[in-house]
Amino acid sequence: MPPYGVRDVEKLLSLPRSTIRALIEAGFVSPARGPRNAWLFSFRDLVVLRTAQALATAQVPRKRITSSLKELRRHLPESMPLSGLSICAVADRVVVKEGGNRWQAESGQYLLAFEGDPADGSLSVIERSGDKPSDSAQDWFDSGLALESVDASAAMTAYEHAIAADPGLIDAHLNLGALLHEAGRHRKAERVYRNALEIHGSDPVLLYNLGVLLDEMGRKIEAMAAYESALRADADLADCHYNLALLCEELKKPQDAIRHMAHYRRLVGTKPK
- Domains, the chain, in order of start with CATH, read 6-129 (1.10.1660), 137-234 (1.25.40.10)
Q: Which of 177, 178, 203, 204 is nearest to 192 (CA)?
A: 177
In terms of Cβ atoms closer than 10 Å to its own Cβ (0-12, 13-18, 19+), residue 45 is buried
Specify which of 66-75, 85-94, 132-141, 249-258 reaches the highest per-range mean pLDDT: 249-258
Q: Does the pLDDT at position 246 exceed 90?
A: yes
pLDDT at 122: 43
Q: Model confidence at 181, in pLDDT bands (50, 70, 90)?
A: very high
Cα end-to-end span (Å), the chain: 47
Q: Model confidence at 131, in pLDDT bands (50, 70, 90)?
A: very low
CB 52, CB 28: distance < 8 Å: yes
pLDDT at 112: 45
pTM: predicted TM-score of the whole model, two decimal places: 0.52
Percentage with pLDDT > 70 across the chain: 69
Element (H, E) at 127: strand 124-129
Q: Does the pLDDT at position 84 exceed 60?
A: no
Q: Does the pLDDT at position 49 exceed 70?
A: yes
Among 107-121, 124-138, 193-207, 213-227, name the one with the lowest average pLDDT.
107-121
pLDDT at 140: 83
How many residues appear in the chain? Answer: 273
Among 40-44, 134-138, 213-217, name the one with the lowest average pLDDT.
134-138
pLDDT at 216: 93
CB 211, CB 230: distance < 8 Å: yes
Q: Model confidence at 64, in pLDDT bands (50, 70, 90)?
A: low
Among 26-40, 90-104, 175-189, name the one with the lowest average pLDDT.
90-104
Q: Does the pLDDT at position 124 exceed 50?
A: no
CB 140, CB 162: distance < 8 Å: yes
In terms of Cβ atoms closer than 10 Å to its own Cβ (0-12, 13-18, 19+), residue 39 is buried
CB 3, CB 34: distance < 8 Å: yes
Using CA atoms, how far apart are residues 211 and 242, in angstroms rounded to an integer? 12
Q: Provide the CB-side half-sphere exposure for 67 (13 A, CA).
A: 10
Using CA atoms, how far apart are residues 44 and 35, in angstroms rounded to an integer? 21
Q: What value does the mean pLDDT of the chain take?
A: 77
Among 35-44, 177-186, 210-219, 228-237, name the one with the lowest average pLDDT.
35-44
**127 pairs with which residues across the strands?**
112
Q: Model confidence at 90, in pLDDT bands (50, 70, 90)?
A: very low
Q: Which of 172, 133, 135 is nearest to 156 (CA)?
A: 172
Percentage with pLDDT > 90 across the chain: 37
